Each structure stands twice: as structure tokens, then as C-alpha cells.
Amino acid sequence: MTSVEAATRAQEEPSSAVAGTGGPERRPVRRWVIAGVLVALAVALPYIPLRIPVLFDGPVNGPGALHLLSLMFVMAAIAMTYDLLFGYTGLLSFGHHLYVAIGMYTTVVVLGETDYGLGAALLAVLVLGLVVPLLLGSICLRVSGIAFAMVTLAFAQAGAIFVVRDPFRITGGELGLAIAYQKLPERLVGVFNAPYRYWLALALLVLVVVAVRWALSSRPGRVWPAIRDNEPRVAVLGLRPYTFKLQVFVLSSFLATLAGAVYAVVVGGAYAEVTHATFVLALLVMVVLGGTGRPYGALVGGLVYTYLVHRLGALSSAVQDLPAAVRAPLMEPLLILGTLFVLLVLFLPGGLVSLFRRPGPNVRDRLRRALRRKDAE
Amino acid sequence: MTTFVLMTITGMGLAALYFLVASGLSLIFGLMHVLNFAHAAFLTLGGYTAWLVAGASGSFLLGIVVGMLVAAALGAATETGLLRRMHGDHVPQVLLTVGLLLAFTALVRAIFGSDARPMPTPAWMNQVIRVLDAPIPNSRFVLIAAAIAVWVVMTIFLTRTRYGLIVRAGVENRPMVTALGIDVRRAFTLVFALGAGLAALAGSLVAAVQGAVSPEQGMTLLIFAFIVVIIGGLGSFHGSALAALLVGLLQEYTNFYAMVGMGDLVVVLLLAGVLLTRPQGLLGRRLV
């Protein structure tokens, strides 16, 4: 695995993920150790009665904090699947939330409307998560660029209209649907079982991280950044960009559908907000916030964004003696996040992750790119 | 027959709104290649400014005019102050407009609350006129008249003035215009301000027709405006007029004769069909 990764790194385009990883080939072992320790810590968290005063209300292993962390994990997983499309392959999709919604609603509707249990719901999610992206992807990918963004948005909008108008009386319209609790395993229901939902979300996140890293180091995974950087050249090399784009579209949408199913369990239902275009804009903000097309950019962005959306209001009320004129805008997390996003796009295009990297690789990349441009001339 | 007339005129009113939003979007895209999400923010801005001014002064017309001016000024400031800094990098520019939209919507919600506020609409706008026995509210005619006026003025601007010529030439071949020594960037600012003004006009008219302003009004209309722009052909002014009419009428008829909500789905299907058979849109040029 590690040697494959190293070989991949060496072959990737200089402007791609390498800008973030940059390190020498010895590093992977250390990186696996760090990742292992982090995961072990996360797994053990429900047993640690730690109190972090401002960051969380109550202990970190209390139900409130664990619920917030579960949401953060699910969102980070979805953001990573989105980055696979946007950051690594350069496909700007405005329809990614459709697949999250499909996962959510399929789970809830199968449990609520049929006699089948969680296994059947999961099977339905897996099947739909493959078939729908394959179908819609093969249509959408016939156009590219802004037209692709628009046609994906249009299909997602069709999904949103379907959910809100609810012609078959199954989706609950604007109000949404609560999950059929009695059909879930007991461990996943109720305030006291928050740790189990937390572990479920963590498992999803680990699965998505591993799947995304694995896919990116596979053979087609090396073509995706090439398509982003120079699609005509990929075509000239005798590869069909369409096939590769469809692969990454299906993979990313499939993982998003899966994340949607877990999301339904974590929030206890399916809600129409997921189908709104605002959701995909939030994904876009997460990915850019963390850093697009960088190994852990979307992960960091998803965690930070979700945390801030839920906690900015509480954080600002923790600061005493704020005049009302300042407090009111602070209660709108999207105002701060939107402004932050604009500033990031203007001044830190590499996202948060790029803050923690040595400037070295970037300068080297720039030099290498400049030399190559000279060669081309 | 009566309902058909009613549906046709209501559909044309809807088309007028789509046209007001989409024409600006289409020109901005044609010239700058930016998909402008901030357009929805200008729409909301227009609605709220009209609401504030009309509430304070009692004049609805003054509200509309002030709303358009404020939005146009802010549009010009956005273009010169923010978008220009990206030096024509399209994806970051789109991201920037997304950020502006999110922040602006949240700002409106923070100041005025997330509930809809009732719009003081002049009484004559809600009175009805009978056309072939069908009762039509005056507001529909206002929408249609506004759209026709904008269409005429913009057509004259685009075909008869020097700046219009630069805009049209810029849409067709920007590098060539630049090579001829014309500063296209001034046309960018102009088109951006114009588009923002038109969006604000649409915003205040939507508020008047629906009788309320709300923070999310812009986003709902924006998605359909995007669809209209794509169907009409990116960068084509007349294309967006044609597509707006097509989409507005189709949506209204299907919603009435088939099933409520069906019209929105049919529009999406129409978009998919157009993209697959004629990716450049009805009146658009093939994008290279």
C-alpha cells in the first residue's frame, strides 16, 4: 500500500494533491501511525469524561457533544465525497445533495412504509446509490463546465420538488419524516445511546476516508486529477475522459448516498432541507474552507464548518456584554461563514490545510510548472 | 377559455420575472463567463429596499427606483472591488459569488428576521381587469409591461449605442475586442451594474405580486432563472427572452392542467432535453 502510494505521488501532476503532501517518501509510516492514534482516540472518546469549557457545553462524552461530533463526522464524509468530484476531478456539480437526500429518504421511507427492516433499507440504499448516479451521471456528463453544473442542479431541483410536493404521499413534504424508531436496533435509539450513533458516524467517516484514498491511488484515480488539469491532453493520450468522469461520479455519489443513510439515523429522520440547493452550497464552502483537492482538506473543512454552524451562536453568547447590534449578526453563523469564505477565496485559495504546510513544495511546484511551460514553448 | 386566458397572462407574468432576472445573468455570463450566484442577493436587496422606502415614503414607484439604484451601485462595487481581483479565474469567481449570496442572505435574516414581511402594495395593483371574461390582477400587467420596457430599452442599448456594441462584441470574441485596444473591463462593470439593477427590479416586483418580502425569495427565483439562461443560450439576450416565455407558459399550463408541481418538473425535463440535443441553447452560439 505504502509503496503504491509513494509511486502515485511521484506520478501525480505537480499542481495536484502533491502540493499538500509534499513530504519525502519516508513519511507514510509516520502518517499511518498518526492516523491510527487519532482514530483510536476518537473511538475511545465516549469513555473520556473530559470538559472543554468554551468549545462544548458539558463533557465531551455527554449526549450533546457526541451528537454534534456525529453530525461533524457525517458532514466531513459528505464533503470528502464532494471533493472527489470538485477538488480532484474538477467537476463542479451543484447536484451532490440529491444523493445524500436519496440515501436519507430511502432509509426512512423503506422503514416507515414497508414491512422490511434495516437490512432491506440498506440494500435499497446500495442499489439506488449505484443505479441513479449511473443513469443521471451518464446524461449530465454529456455536457461539461458550467452546463454540467446547471444540469446537475436542475436534476437535484427536480428531486427537491418531488420531495416537497410529495405526489405519492411518502416523503412528508416540507415537514419531513421521522424515522421509524421501533424498527431500528435498540442501540441506535434514544439519548443514552448517543455513543453508538457516534461510533456509526465515525465508522462511516473512516470508511469514506479509506475508500477515497484507495480510489485516488488506483489507476483511474490517477487519471482524475489529469482530467481536471488538462482534459484534452488526457483524450489525446488515448483515454476516454467520459468513462473516467462517470466512474468518479458514480463512486462519489454512491458514498454520498451511504452517508445519507447514516445521516438519517443520526438526526432521526429525513428533512427537506437536505434537498435545498443551500445544502450543496454549504458542501462547496466546506471543501474550499479546508482546501480543494488536498488529502485532508475536505475532512478538515467539513468538521470545522459543521462545528461553527452549530456552535457560533452559543460561542458568541459566551462573550458577555456584547451590544445588540453586534450580537444579532453573530447569531447568524452563515453571515460569518459566508464572509470568511469570501476572504478565503480572495486571500487563501489553498484553504485551511495550506496553513499547516511548509511553503516549500508550492514554490517548487511553481518552478517546475514554469519550467514545463518554457519547455512547451 | 376564461381559464386559458388567465393561465396565459399569469404565465406571461411569470415569464416577465424570469426574463428580468435571466437577461442580466445571461449577459454577465456571456461577457465575463461568471455564473453569478450573487444575482439572488441583488434580487433580495431590491425587494427589501423597495419595502423600506415604500414603507417610509408611501410611494411604491420610488421604492422600486431606489432599490434598482442601490443594487446597481452595489453591483458595480462588487465587480470592481471583488471579482476583478480574481483576474478572470472563473471557478474562484463563482465561489466568490456563492459566498456573497450566503453572507448577504444571512445578513438580511439577522437584521429583518427570517419571517416574511408584508409589502405595502398600492391598492390598484391588486384590482382586476376583465380580459375576455377572465379576471386578471393589474400586477400581472405591470410585470409584463416592465419586461417589455426593459426588452425595448436593452435592445436599443445593445444595438444603437457604443457601449452596447462593445458588450455584444465582447460576448462574441473578447480577446479580439481587447486586442483592438478597448478596455473591456469597463463593459464588465457596466453589465454587472445593469444586471444587478434588473434583478432588483424583479425583486421588488416579486415582493409586490406576492405581497411580502422574505430572505429566501432570491434563491428560489434564481434556480429557474439559471434554467432559463441555459435553455435560451448562455450570453444570448434574445434567447433568454424567448426561453423565459417558453418556460413561464409551460410551467403555468402544466401546473394547472396536469398536476400542481408537475410544471416545475417538466421545466427540468425540458432543460435536460435541450442540453442533450442542443447544448448551446436555443439561440446560443456553440461554446468552444
Q: Which domains does chain A have, with CATH numbers?
A: 2-316+323-376 (1.10.3470)
Q: How distant is the Cα of B38 from the closest Cα of chain A, in angstroms?
A: 12
Per-residue model confidence as pLDDT tens digits over B230-273: 888 877 888 888 899 999 888 888 888 877 767 778 888 888 88
Backbone angles phi, psi at B37, to 5 degrees: -70, -25
Give CA–CA dist A105/A276, Å, rounded.
14
Local structure of residue B249 (DSSP, 8 states): H
Local structure of residue A54 (DSSP, 8 states): T
Crossing angle for the helix pair B2-32 and B184-210, to the nearest 10 degrees: 150
Per-residue model confidence as pLDDT tens digits over B25-47: 888 887 777 888 888 899 999 88
The answer to whether the Cβ–Cβ distance between A341 and B98 falls below 8 Å is yes
| pLDDT number for residue A131 | 95
Give CA–CA dist A241/A182, Å, rounded.
47
Domain ranges of chain B: 21-216
Q: Which chain B residue is nearest to residue A337, measuring alpha carbons? A: B103
Give CA–CA dist B46/B63, Å, rounded.
9
What residues of chain A lie within 8 A of the CB of B107, using their CB? 329, 332, 335
The answer to whether the Cβ–Cβ distance between B276 and A285 falls below 8 Å is no
Per-residue model confidence as pLDDT tens digits over A30-48: 878 888 888 888 888 888 8
Q: Give the burial string for B210-224 (b: 16+ CB within 10 Å, else e).
A: eebbbbbbbbebbbb
Q: Which of A158, A164, A288 comes nearest B268 by C-beta? A: A158
Helix (H, G, I), strand (E, B) or coil at A269: strand
| pLDDT number for residue A8 | 44
Give CA–CA dist A138/A154, Å, rounded.
15
Label residue A293 left, alpha or beta by phi (over 0 means left) and psi (-120 to 50 means alpha): left
Q: Does residue A374 have a pLDDT over 80?
A: no
Q: Which of A151, A277, A288 comes nearest B275 by C-beta? A: A151
Asked if residues B191 and B28 have their Cβ atoms less than 8 Å apart, the reply is yes
| Mutation target vs B (from A292, A342, A343, A347; most B CBs, 10 A cutoff) | A342
CA dihedral A282, A288, A289, A292 (to 10 degrees): 130
Q: Which chain B residue is nearest to residue A94, measuring alpha carbons? A: B223
- The pLDDT of B2-10, averaged and rounded, is 83
Q: Which chain A residue is nearest to residue B113, measuring alpha carbons? A: A328
Q: Does residue A244 have a pLDDT over 50?
A: yes
pLDDT confidence band for A16 (50 / 70 / 90): very low
Cell of B222: 434564481
Q: Does residue B216 have a pLDDT over 60?
A: yes
Contacts for B255 with CB less than 8 Å, ≥ 6 apart: B261, B262, B263, B264
Q: Which chain B residue is nearest to residue A165, measuring alpha carbons? A: B261
The answer to whether the Cβ–Cβ distance between A338 and B102 falls below 8 Å is yes
Tell me whether residue B261 is exposed, middle or buried, using C-beta atoms within 10 angstroms of its C-beta: 0 to 12, 13 to 18, 19 or more. Answer: middle
Share of chain A above pLDDT 90, in %: 28
Count of A–B CB contacts within 8 Å?
A: 123
How many residues in total does chain A contain?
A: 377
What residues of chain B lie within 8 A of the CB of A345, using their CB? 86, 92, 95-96, 99
Q: H/E element holding B137?
A: strand B134-137
How many residues in total does chain B contain?
A: 288
CA atoms within 13 A on the CB side of A25: 10
Asked if residues B234 and B33 have their Cβ atoms less than 8 Å apart, the reply is no
pLDDT confidence band for A134 (50 / 70 / 90): very high
Q: How distant is the Cα of B95 from the closest Cα of chain A, in angstroms?
A: 7
- The pLDDT of B57-71, averaged and rounded, is 86
Q: H/E element holding A178?
A: strand A177-178
Q: Which chain A residue is nearest to residue B265, measuring alpha carbons? A: A158
| Mutation target vs B (from A15, A141, A151; most B CBs, 10 A cutoff) | A151
Per-residue model confidence as pLDDT tens digits over A77-125: 999 999 999 989 989 899 999 999 999 999 999 988 888 888 888 999 9
Distances (CA, A) of B193 to A106, A262, B199: 45, 45, 10
Share of chain B above pLDDT 90, in %: 5
Asked if residues A230 and A138 have their Cβ atoms less than 8 Å apart, the reply is no
pLDDT confidence band for A65 (50 / 70 / 90): confident
Q: How distant is the Cα of B111 from the closest Cα of chain A, in angstroms?
A: 7
Q: Does residue A19 have a pLDDT over 70?
A: no
Per-residue model confidence as pLDDT tens digits over B136-146: 787 888 888 88
| pLDDT number for residue A278 | 84
pLDDT mean across residues, chain A: 81
> A22 or A86: whose pLDDT is higher?
A86
List the single range of A69-78, A168-177, A254-263, B67-76 with lowest mean pLDDT. A168-177
The answer to whether the Cβ–Cβ distance between B275 and A284 falls below 8 Å is no
Question: Got the DSSP string for A85-109?
Answer: IIIIH----S-THHHHHHHHHHHHH
ipTM above 0.85, yes or no: no
Contacts for A185 with CB less than 8 Å, ≥ 6 apart: A118
Q: Which chain A residue is nearest to residue B255, measuring alpha carbons? A: A165
Per-residue model confidence as pLDDT tens digits over A304-363: 999 988 887 777 666 656 666 666 666 777 888 888 888 888 888 777 777 776 554 566
Q: Which chain A residue is nearest to residue B98, measuring alpha carbons? A: A281
Asked if residues B66 and B50 have their Cβ atoms less than 8 Å apart, the reply is yes
- The pLDDT of A15-32, averaged and rounded, is 54
The answer to whether the Cβ–Cβ distance between A157 and B261 falls below 8 Å is no
pLDDT mean across residues, chain B: 83
Cell of B285: 452560439
The answer to whether the Cβ–Cβ distance between A342 and B82 falls below 8 Å is yes
The answer to whether the Cβ–Cβ distance between B264 and A158 falls below 8 Å is yes
| pLDDT number for residue A320 | 59
What residues of chain B lie within 8 A of the CB of A277, using their CB? 219, 223
pLDDT confidence band for A302 (50 / 70 / 90): very high
| pLDDT number for residue A151 | 83
pLDDT confidence band for A2 (50 / 70 / 90): very low
Closest CA to A183 of A302, A264, A103: A264
Tell me how many degrees the CA angle B140-B146-B150 measures, rounded to the nearest 5. 150
Label residue A357 left, alpha or beta by phi (over 0 means left) and psi (-120 to 50 means alpha): beta
The answer to whether the Cβ–Cβ distance between A147 and B100 falls below 8 Å is no
Helix (H, G, I), strand (E, B) or coil at A291: coil
Give CA–CA dist B72/B30, Å, rounded.
19
